[in-house]
């Protein structure tokens, strides 16, 4: 239990904020102290944590079911118990969902955003703590429970009948729809963490059909584009992915370096696949050193440098979900290697053994059948113009632009970005 002085302070602050219907103050009153990542955990859901029984009524409305879980959460944080912190926070979230549904206007939206964020964080940290204590890395019970709470918040805001007007102040007449985009972004983050990307589709159509994705704050719109870009990338829609990542990077706050780097972790692989290489200056600025050997290998056709860089950072790329995408960039590396062989030979008919020797020189010997297979794929993708003579073991290149740049460097997205 919290000391009486702490209870009185929290209760008084919440009571005054609700009585004044001050959106910012209510949000601040319902916020939690920082959650310690290394906190202890009971690892159980037995309900034996601190329970407060305070009474709070404001203008005839009972706020006790919001106040008491808030006090419980503060007490659990003071005791370094993340599992009980999440249980209290979940009760608080459920109570606020009910309060939102029975209230008029959107003056509770800032408080709902704070509670959604804290529910997400508390669930993730509690799961991590329990997993460390039990040795089970795949227990996401609290985060899965948190998803249902945020889905309820999403439904209550999305289905509000009041028409949303952009940039309207929070009031008793405003639309709850202004709270949708922030909650959608929190759900995206949770779905990616749980690897349930199919559920993201359930959010896209309602949000975009109402134009909500274009009427949030700039931070919310940037975050939305970032997650939609990641979805596009996993669905092999690289043109849309590039467009969304470009928007997110260009509109990201200039001082949010960590967020820009997070965007570039996905934008760079998409750009590489579409044939546009970043400058070394950009990679150095954001400490994206893992892409340097890939970029150099693709630019010069140095397959060994590319493969070594991909292997060295394999675990990192797999965690990000970009490994297979970067593996596809190897075809551009092949193309540039063959282009160098073509310039050395100086004629349109190239014996396959010359190409095989280039692989051997790189320390990656392959036989002529493998060379043919690679070339056949490059010709099919139109990275090379020409044909193969299997009988003579010769590559016959077109006299006009045998290595067309336009087929490697795909058209830019609708928005442009200085790729520096």
- pLDDT value of position 275: 84
- pLDDT value of position 131: 85
In whole angstroms, give the CA distance from residue 252 to residue 256.
Answer: 7
38 pLDDT tier (thresholds 50, 70, 90): low
Let me know: does 32 contact 78? Beta carbons within 8 Å: no
Cα 54 to chain centroid distance, Å, stands at 40
- pLDDT value of position 413: 42
**316-354 pLDDT per residue, tens:** 999 999 999 999 999 999 999 999 999 999 889 999 999
Instruction: Look at residue 412 and tell me whether its pLDDT is greater than 60.
Output: no
Count Cβ atoms below 10 Å from residue 137 Cβ, excluding itself.
10
Q: Which positions ≥6 away from 239 have C-beta within 8 Å?
A: 274, 410, 411, 413
Distance in angstroms between the alpha carbons of the first and the last residue of the chain: 56
Q: Which of 246, 227, 240 is nearest to 183 (CA)?
A: 227
Helix, strand or coil, per DSSP, at residue 101:
helix
Give the up-direction half-sphere exposure of residue 184: CA atoms within 13 A in the CB hemisphere.
29
Distance (Å) of CA 61 to CA 66, 99, 114, 115, 281: 11, 9, 21, 20, 59
Angle at 274 (CA atoms; ends 272, 279), nearest 5 degrees: 40
What does pTM read for this prediction? 0.88
Let me know: does 174 contact 201? Beta carbons within 8 Å: no
Let me know: does 398 contact 388? Beta carbons within 8 Å: no
């Amino acid at each position: 239990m919290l000391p009486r002085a702490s209870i009185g302070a929290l209760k008084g602050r919440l009571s005054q904020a609700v009585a004044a219907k001050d959106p910012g103050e209510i949000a601040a009153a319902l916020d939690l102290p920082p959650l310690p990542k290394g906190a202890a955990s009971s690892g159980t859901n037995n309900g034996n944590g601190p329970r407060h029984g305070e009474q709070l009524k404001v203008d005839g409305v009972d706020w006790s079911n919001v106040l008491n879980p808030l006090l419980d959460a503060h007490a659990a944080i003071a005791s370094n118990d993340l599992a009980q912190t999440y249980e209290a926070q979940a009760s608080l979230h459920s109570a606020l969902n009910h309060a939102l549904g029975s209230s008029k206007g959107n003056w509770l939206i800032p408080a709902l955003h704070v509670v959604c964020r804290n529910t997400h964080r508390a669930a993730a940290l509690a799961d991590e703590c329990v997993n460390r204590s039990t040795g089970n890395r795949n227990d996401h019970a609290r985060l899965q429970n948190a998803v249902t709470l945020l889905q309820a918040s999403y439904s209550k805001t999305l289905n509000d009948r009041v028409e949303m007007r952009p940039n309207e102040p929070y009031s008793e007449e405003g639309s709850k729809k202004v709270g949708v985009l922030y909650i959608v972004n929190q759900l995206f983050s949770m779905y990616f963490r749980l690897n349930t990307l199919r559920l993201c589709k359930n959010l896209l159509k309602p949000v975009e059909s109402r134009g909500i994705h274009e009427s949030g704050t700039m931070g919310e719109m940037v975050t939305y584009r970032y997650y939609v870009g990641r979805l596009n990338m996993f669905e092999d829609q690289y043109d849309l992915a590039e467009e969304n990542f470009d928007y997110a990077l260009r509109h990201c706050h200039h001082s949010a370096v960590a967020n820009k780097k997070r965007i570039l972790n996905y934008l760079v692989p998409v750009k590489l696949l579409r044939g546009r290489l970043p400058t070394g200056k950009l990679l150095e600025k954001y400490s994206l050193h893992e892409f340097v050997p890939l970029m150099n290998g693709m630019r010069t056709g140095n397959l060994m440098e590319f493969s070594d860089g991909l292997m060295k950072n394999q675990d990192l790329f797999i965690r990000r979900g970009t490994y297979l995408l970067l593996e596809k960039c190897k075809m551009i590396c092949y193309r540039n290697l063959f282009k160098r062989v073509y310039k050395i030979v100086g004629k349109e008919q190239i014996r396959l053994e010359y190409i095989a020797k280039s692989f051997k020189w790189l320390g990656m010997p392959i036989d002529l059948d493998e060379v043919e297979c690679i070339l056949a794929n490059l010709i099919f993708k139109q990275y090379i113009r020409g044909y193969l003579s299997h009988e003579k073991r010769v590559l016959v290149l077109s006299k006009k632009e045998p290595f067309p740049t336009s087929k490697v460097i795909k058209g830019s997205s609708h928005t442009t970005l200085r790729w520096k």
